[in-house]
């Protein structure tokens, strides 16, 4: 379950949250979107009638919201998407891009939509908050989800080469995913600078996520001979070794070959590692 924290509130009638820097680039979210529409395609198709997605905090330009809409419609043609931003000027700038199934609204973590969404994506938003704010924000957004809905919260670099995200449902956080473009890192732990806010300050000795990243680096080094066959083969061998070592890695080579790795949340959640 989501750890309890102080309630998230705003003045009456005002969106919940703070204005972010708004930095964005086209195709920046391609790795997380590929995971949403791939690893969770069956879930996305399971919702009744036309499901709703929310892109929360899409930033200074709505390009990534439009991209998510198009990618969801490739999985299910009746998906709808609402882009939500807390800065009025960003909403007005996005309005000309509205079309059937796609709209933009002023709002924040309260989710200003009339129905419970099947999917909420919030990327590079909580990074600008305090770690202590995260549990309450997670709880608020998760409380708005439709039954079976997903909340994807994470961070990526400016052009989307490295990313990390947490998947949550009505019961709280379920998984942590790491994704990187081959050639954009020397060690898997390089993605640590993009860990979600709940974990980025926990990458220190004694914490589970630090132990996990260390195990990946060790497996990466042990898989060095496979580099002759390409970085993809080395990555797959690393993930397989981590799974064989007891880390609760999910999915299989079809996703691993994309530079992805998903692990159950409990294995990396904040708190002392079993080896500390």
Q: What DSSP state is assigned to residue 202?
A: T
DSSP letters along 78-135, please?
T-EEEEEESSHHHHHHHGGG-BTTEEEEE--TT---SS--SEEEEESSGGGS-GGGHH
Give the residue among 178, 194, 163, 187 at the shortest CA–CA distance from 261. 178
**Structural domain count of the chain:** 2
- Per residue of the chain (276 residues), give pLDDT as tens: 333 333 344 444 677 766 665 567 788 999 999 999 999 999 999 999 999 999 999 988 999 999 999 999 999 999 999 999 999 999 999 999 999 999 999 999 999 999 999 999 999 999 889 999 999 999 999 999 999 999 999 999 999 999 999 999 999 999 999 999 999 999 999 999 999 999 999 999 999 999 999 999 999 999 999 988 999 999 999 999 999 999 999 999 999 999 999 999 999 999 877 544
Residue 27's domain comprises 1-184
At how many degrees (to 10) do helices 63-75 and 30-39 cross?
Answer: 20
Q: Same structural domain for residues 170 and 217? A: no
Is 214 part of a structural domain of the chain?
yes
Q: What is the pLDDT of residue 41?
A: 97
Q: What is the pLDDT of residue 142?
A: 97
Contact predicate 35/177, CB 8 Å: yes
Question: Of 152, 184, 216, at which residue does a domain stop?
Answer: 184
Is 190 part of a structural domain of the chain?
no
Q: Same structural domain for residues 146 and 104? A: yes
Q: What is the pLDDT of residue 23?
A: 66
How many CB atoms within 10 Å of residue 20?
21
Q: Same structural domain for residues 21 and 120? A: yes
What is the C-alpha separation between 222 and 238, in angstroms, rounded?
8
pTM: 0.91
Q: Same structural domain for residues 179 and 206? A: no
Q: Same structural domain for residues 24 and 155? A: yes
Q: What share of the chain is helix, strand, coil (3-state, %, to 5)?
A: 40, 20, 40
Question: Of 157, 184, 211, at which residue does a domain stop?
Answer: 184
CATH number at residue 18: 3.40.50.150
Q: What is the pLDDT of residue 273?
A: 72
Is 234 part of a structural domain of the chain?
yes
Q: Same structural domain for residues 132 and 236? A: no
Q: What is the pLDDT of residue 21?
A: 59
Q: What is the pLDDT of residue 1?
A: 34
Q: What is the pLDDT of residue 39?
A: 97
Q: What is the pLDDT of residue 18?
A: 65
Q: Same structural domain for residues 57 and 18? A: yes
């Amino acid at each position: 379950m989501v750890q309890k924290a102080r309630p998230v509130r705003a003045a009456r009638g005002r969106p919940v949250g703070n204005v972010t820097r708004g930095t964005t680039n086209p195709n920046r979210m391609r790795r997380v979107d590929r995971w949403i529409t791939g690893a969770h395609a069956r879930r996305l198709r399971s919702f009744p009638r036309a499901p709703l997605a929310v892109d929360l905090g899409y930033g200074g330009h709505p390009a990534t919201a439009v991209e998510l809409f198009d990618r969801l419609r490739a999985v299910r043609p009746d998906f709808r998407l609402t882009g939500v931003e807390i800065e009025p000027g960003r909403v007005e700038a996005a309005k000309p891009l509205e079309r059937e199934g796609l709209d933009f609204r002023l709002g924040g973590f309260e989710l200003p939509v009339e129905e419970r969404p099947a999917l909420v994506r919030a990327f590079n938003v909580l990074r600008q908050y305090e770690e202590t704010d995260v549990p309450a924000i997670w709880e608020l957004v998760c409380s708005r989800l439709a039954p079976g809905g997903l909340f994807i919260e994470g961070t990526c670099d400016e052009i989307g080469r490295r990313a990390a995200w947490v998947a949550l449902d009505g019961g709280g956080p379920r998984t942590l995913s790491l994704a990187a473009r081959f050639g954009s890192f020397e060690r898997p732990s390089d993605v640590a600078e993009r860990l979600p806010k709940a974990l980025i300050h926990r990458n220190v000795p004694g914490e589970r996520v630090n132990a996990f990243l260390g195990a990946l680096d060790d497996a990466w080094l042990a898989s060095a001979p496979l580099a002759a066959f390409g970085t993809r083969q080395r990555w797959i061998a690393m993930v397989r070794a981590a799974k064989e070592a007891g880390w609760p890695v999910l999915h299989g080579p079809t996703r691993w070959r994309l530079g992805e790795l998903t692990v159950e949340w409990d294995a990396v959640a904040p708190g002392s590692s079993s080896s500390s």
